[in-house]
């Protein structure tokens, strides 16, 4: 998916080939069956990652997170080293060798006390 180019000194930069379809999965939260964010950080973050995966697969990106080239994570102000470590571990677990560009933004608050909201952009292979 990403093709680094040493010719243009863009090693590790996500480059998209012309003609691929892109998909945006905005505002993914880690919710329980009743639509409330999990209180446990690990459960909430894992559920948010699963929601992204389900959306991508439903849109035709059969490899889910492995088709993601950009990820923006909105974090609550009480972001801790523990939550950041959980997030980093989930990126490794879900993305495998794929390394999407990433931005983390701390916001004043998220819906119903959520710890994280994830927006991704990915490709849908032809």
Q: In terms of C-beta density within 10 A (0-12 exposed, 13-18 middle, 19 or more buried), how is residue 106 classed?
A: exposed
Ordered structural domains, the chain, with CATH:
31-124 (3.30.1330.40)
Is the pTM of the predicted complex or chain greater than 0.85?
Answer: no
Segment 6-32 mean pLDDT: 72
Write the DSSP assignment of 45-61 as a string of letters.
Answer: HHHHHHHHHHHHHHHT-
With cut-offs at 50, 70 and 90, classify the pLDDT of residue 16. Answer: low
Residue-wise pLDDT tens digits, 82-124: 999 999 999 999 999 998 999 999 999 999 989 999 999 998 8
Which residues have CB under 8 Å from 13's CB, separation 6+? 2, 4, 5, 101
């Amino acid at each position: 998916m990403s093709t680094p180019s040493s010719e243009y000194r863009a090693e590790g930069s996500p480059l998209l080939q012309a003609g691929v379809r892109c998909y945006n999965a905005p505002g993914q939260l880690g919710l329980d069956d009743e639509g409330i964010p999990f209180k446990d950080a690990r459960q909430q973050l894992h559920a948010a990652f699963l929601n992204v995966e389900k959306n991508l697969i439903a849109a035709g990106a059969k490899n889910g997170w492995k088709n993601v080239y950009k990820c923006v994570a909105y974090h609550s102000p009480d972001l801790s080293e523990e939550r950041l470590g959980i997030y980093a571990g989930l990126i490794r677990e879900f993305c495998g060798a794929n390394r999407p560009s990433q931005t983390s933004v701390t916001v004043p608050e998220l819906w119903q006390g959520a710890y994280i909201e994830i927006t991704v952009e990915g490709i849908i292979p032809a």
